[in-house]
């Protein structure tokens, strides 16, 4: 019963991403509509239920836990959850506890997160221009995020910046972003915009800046060397000879990365998505609530992993958006 989780394509499942809330204090244009309807609070798993589920996954061999959202740091009481998860770090069962955040609340939380055993944080940031930042996040303030990043650094957290490549939006900032990350010693990863959710007429093809084009532009100024490094995830890395820095590319559309997928995603309502780009999911909330014993939920997790699909079907190549899924990224947790 304690055999580790392995899917039908012999991929060990060692990485769980957990969306702890669908709410956010920003409204990034590629992620949310301006007028979002959020889940009623009663639908959400409690922090205790999240603990039970995550702990079940850890027992079944998950070694890396990434907390995301929505904005994870706006979930009330979330620090208690991080503190509770730190027991799995202390026992050695969990190798990494980390989060993806928009950075807005980091100034408040960085020290306590570090004390709970968080060592690294991914901060999403698409521009260093105050006005553009306000436009792309709709509700965000750049200074607050930069302050949060500074607090995270001061707390000893390693920082990775995630930047969505957006045509006509941050193309002109490519070199500034790279230079800023080099100067600050932050890792940097670019992400292709994905067709998630219906955002009311957003122009996906218009936003899409293929990373092969971004990479070609980068190569006009820097010498790029591919590194064999893999994080067990979709990112592919290059090293810039001139600065020594590492740049990641997440290219769900120009490159399929599914063959090495080691992850599953849990939503804040207890739905387990075995693939970011497919509609199939397993409800873990019902078995969780049905019994205080974890046997039911462990069985449900195993049954879900046994149907993990080979990969997603996102495709822009025919100049239309194929393989689109109806969920927002904030629902599944990016």
Alpha-carbon distance of 177 to 189, in angstroms, equals 11
Residue number with CB closer to ligand SF4 (88 or 328): 328
* Minimal distance, residue 31 CB to ligand SF4, in Å: 3
- Give the tokens for residue 240: 């810039």
Alpha-carbon distance of 41 to 70, in angstroms, equals 14
Q: Which residues pair with 161 in a beta bridge?
A: 123, 188
Quick check: 68 binds ligand SAM (CB under 6 A)? yes
| Stretch near ligand SAM under the rule CB under 6 A, chosen from 24-32, 142-150, 289-297, 307-315 | 24-32
Per CB under 6 A, residues contacting ligand SF4 are: 24, 26-28, 31-32, 69-71, 102, 124, 330
Residues 148-207 that bind ligand SAM (CB under 6 A): 162, 164, 191, 193-194, 196
Picked from ligand SAM, ligand SF4, none, the partner binding residue 164 (CB below 5 to 8 A depending on kind) is ligand SAM
Q: How many residues are listed for the chain in this entry?
A: 334
Picked from ligand SAM, ligand SF4, none, the partner binding residue 191 (CB below 5 to 8 A depending on kind) is ligand SAM
With CB atoms as reference, the residue minimizing the distance to ligand SAM is 334
Q: CA geometry: angle at 148 spanning 165 and 74, to 5°?
A: 85
Alpha-carbon distance of 145 to 121, in angstroms, equals 13
* Minimal distance, residue 155 CB to ligand SF4, in Å: 21
* Minimal distance, residue 109 CB to ligand SAM, in Å: 13
Alpha-carbon distance of 237 to 33, in angstroms, equals 32
* Minimal distance, residue 69 CB to ligand SF4, in Å: 5
In sequence order, the 6+-apart residues with CB closer than 8 A to the CB of 279 are: 325, 326, 327
Alpha-carbon distance of 239 to 330, in angstroms, equals 31
* Minimal distance, residue 6 CB to ligand SAM, in Å: 27
**What region, left, alpha or beta, does residue 245 occupy, with left being phi > 0 and alpha being psi -120 to 50 degrees?**
beta
Chain residues binding ligand SAM by CB under 6 A are 24, 30-31, 68-69, 71, 100-102, 124, 162, 164, 191, 193-194, 196, 329-330, 334
């Amino acid at each position: 019963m304690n055999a580790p989780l392995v899917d039908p394509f012999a991929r060990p499942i060692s990485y769980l991403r957990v969306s702890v809330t669908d709410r956010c204090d920003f409204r990034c244009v590629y992620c949310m509509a301006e007028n979002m309807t959020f889940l009623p609070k009663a639908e959400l798993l409690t922090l205790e239920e999240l603990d039970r589920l995550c702990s079940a996954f850890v027992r079944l061999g998950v070694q890396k836990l990434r907390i995301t959202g929505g904005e994870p740091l706006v979930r009330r009481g979330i620090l208690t959850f991080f503190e509770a998860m730190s027991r799995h770090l202390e026992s050695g069962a969990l190798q990494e506890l980390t989060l993806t955040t928009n950075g807005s609340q980091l100034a408040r939380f960085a020290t306590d997160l570090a004390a709970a055993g968080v060592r690294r944080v991914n901060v999403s940031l698409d521009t260093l221009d105050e006005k553009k930042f306000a436009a792309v996040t709709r509700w965000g303030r750049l200074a607050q995020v930069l302050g949060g990043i500074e607090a995270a650094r001061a707390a000893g957290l390693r920082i990775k910046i995630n930047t969505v490549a957006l045509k006509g939006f941050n193309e002109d900032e490519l070199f500034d972003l790279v230079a800023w990350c080099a100067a600050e010693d932050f890792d940097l990863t670019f992400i292709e915009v994905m067709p998630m959710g219906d955002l009311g007429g957003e122009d996906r093809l218009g936003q899409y800046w293929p990373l092969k084009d971004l990479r070609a532009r980068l190569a006009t100024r820097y010498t790029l060397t591919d590194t064999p490094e893999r994080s067990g995830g979709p990112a592919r890395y290059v090293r810039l000879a001139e600065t020594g820095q590492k740049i990641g590319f997440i290219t769900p559309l120009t490159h399929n990365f599914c063959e090495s997928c080691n992850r599953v995603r849990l939503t804040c309502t207890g739905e387990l998505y075995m693939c970011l780009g497919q509609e199939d999911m397993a409800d873990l909330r019902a078995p969780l609530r049905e019994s205080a014993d974890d046997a039911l939920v462990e069985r449900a997790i195993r049954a879900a992993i046994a149907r993990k699909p080979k990969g997603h079907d996102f495709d822009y190549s025919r100049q239309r958006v194929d393989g689109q899924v109806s969920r927002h990224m904030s629902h599944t947790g990016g």
